[in-house]
Copies of this chain bind each other. A is one copy, B any other.
Amino acid sequence: MPQPNKPIRSDIAWSTVDTISIRGLSLPDEILGNYNLGDFSFLQLTGRPPTPQQSRMFNAIIVALVEHGLTPSALAARITYAGAPESLQAAVAAGISGLGTVFVGTMEGATRLLYQALPLDAPDPDDFETLACDVVTRFRTDKKLVPGLGHAIHKNGDPRTPRLFQIAEEADMAGRYVKLIKAVQVEAEKSYGKKLPLNATGAIGAICCEFGFPEQVIRGFGVMARAIGLVGHIMEEVEKPLALEVVRRAEEEASRHLRKPGE
C-alpha cells in the first residue's frame, strides 16, 4: 500500500512571472548591486543579512579558506580536468570531494570542542583556564590531538591567526570563544611541553562559535570557499598544465620495481 504523501517545502527562494525572491528579498531590486558575494553567502546560509561588523568578519573567514596552494584537492581537481576538460564542473566536484575529516575536519573539530566545553546557552565560565585545562586533559586521555593547534609549515605561529583575531577585535566579536581557544592553546603547550601555535582552523572555529553557527555548517564554509579556489587552479591548469606530468612521474616510480631491467 502506498504511503500518504508528506508535504515538501523549501523557504529559500521562489520565482513568479516577474519576480525572484531569495530569503524574502527581491533579487533584482534589493540584492543585486547591494550585496557583495560574502554578504550574500551569509544571507543564503543564515537567512538574515549581516551587520557591517559581521560582514567584515564573515568575508575574512571565508576568504581565508579559498586558497592554500597546490593542495590535495587542487591536484585532484586538476587531474580530473585533464581527463574531462569538457566538464569543469566535475573537476571542481572531484576536488571538493576530498574536503573531509582529515583537512576540513580540524575546523569542525575546534568548533565542536568549544561548543561542548561551553554551549551557546551556557553562562560564562568562572575561570577560562580551568575549563581549558579540562579540555586538554580530556583530549590527552582520549589520546586525540587537540584540533586547531600546530601547523606543519608555520611552526612559529600561523600568520593568519593574529590577523583574524585582530579583525574579530575590531568587529567586536572577540568574545568568550576566542578567549577559550586561546586558553586551550596555552594549556596545551604547557601540557605537551612543546610549541603548539593556534592555527587558522582553530581561530576560524572559535570565530564561528562567536557567530553561533551550527557545527554542521562549518564544513560547508570550507567547501564553498574552496570551490572558488579550485576554479582558479583549473584556469591555471588550462594555461600551464602540470597534472598529467605529476601522474606520469608517480606512475613511473610506483611501478618501476615491477619492470624488468632495461625497460
Contacts and interface: CB of A to CB of B under 8 A. Distances in A.
Interface of A: 1-3, 5-22, 27-29, 31-33, 35-41, 44-45, 55-56, 59-60, 62-64, 66-73, 75-76, 79-104, 153-157, 159-160, 162-164, 166-167, 170, 214, 216-217, 219-225, 227-236, 238, 240, 242-255, 257-260, 263
Among A19, A216, A220, A242, the one with the most B-chain Cβ atoms within 10 Å of its Cβ is: A220
Contacts of A75: 79, 246-247, 250-251
24 contacts: A8-B245, A9-B257, A10-B242, A10-B254, A12-B67, A12-B236, A13-B67, A13-B68, A13-B69, A14-B255, A14-B258, A17-B154, A17-B155, A20-B160, A22-B66, A32-B163, A37-B41, A72-B79, A72-B80, A73-B83, A84-B89, A89-B97, A89-B222, A90-B97
Contacts of A231: 44-45, 217, 220-221, 223-224
Given A72-B83, A83-B100, A97-B94, A33 B246 contact: no
B88 A102 contact: no
A17 B232 CA distance: 24
A27 B22 CA distance: 32
Given A15-B69, A93-B90, A10 B99 contact: no
A39 B4 CA distance: 38
B216 A14 contact: no
B13 A255 contact: yes
